[in-house]
Amino acid sequence: MPEVIAEHLDGVAFRVDCRGHCIVMDQPVENGGEDSGLTPPELFASSLAGCVGYYVANYCKQAGLSTDGLQVSCDWATADKPKRLDPIHLSVELPGLPEKRRKAVERVAQSCLLHATLMYQPDAKISLRNNSDA
d(CA 92, CA 49): 9
109 part of a folded domain: yes
In a domain, 115, yes or no: yes
- β-strand partners of 89: 75
> Contact 25/43 with Cβ under 8 angstroms?
yes
How many structural domains compose the chain?
A: 2
End-to-end CA distance of the chain: 18
What's the pLDDT score for residue 134?
Answer: 57
For the chain, list residues with pLDDT below 50.
none
Same domain, 29 and 73: no
**So what's the pLDDT on residue 1?**
80
Is 86 found in the same domain as 59? yes
Residue 129 lies in a domain: no
Residues 12 and 75 in one domain: no
Domain membership of residue 130 (yes or no) is no
- Same domain as 70, residue 30: no
pLDDT tens, 33-61?
999 999 999 999 999 999 999 999 999 99
Structural domain of 83? 39-122
Q: Are 60 and 70 in contact (CB under 8 A)?
A: yes
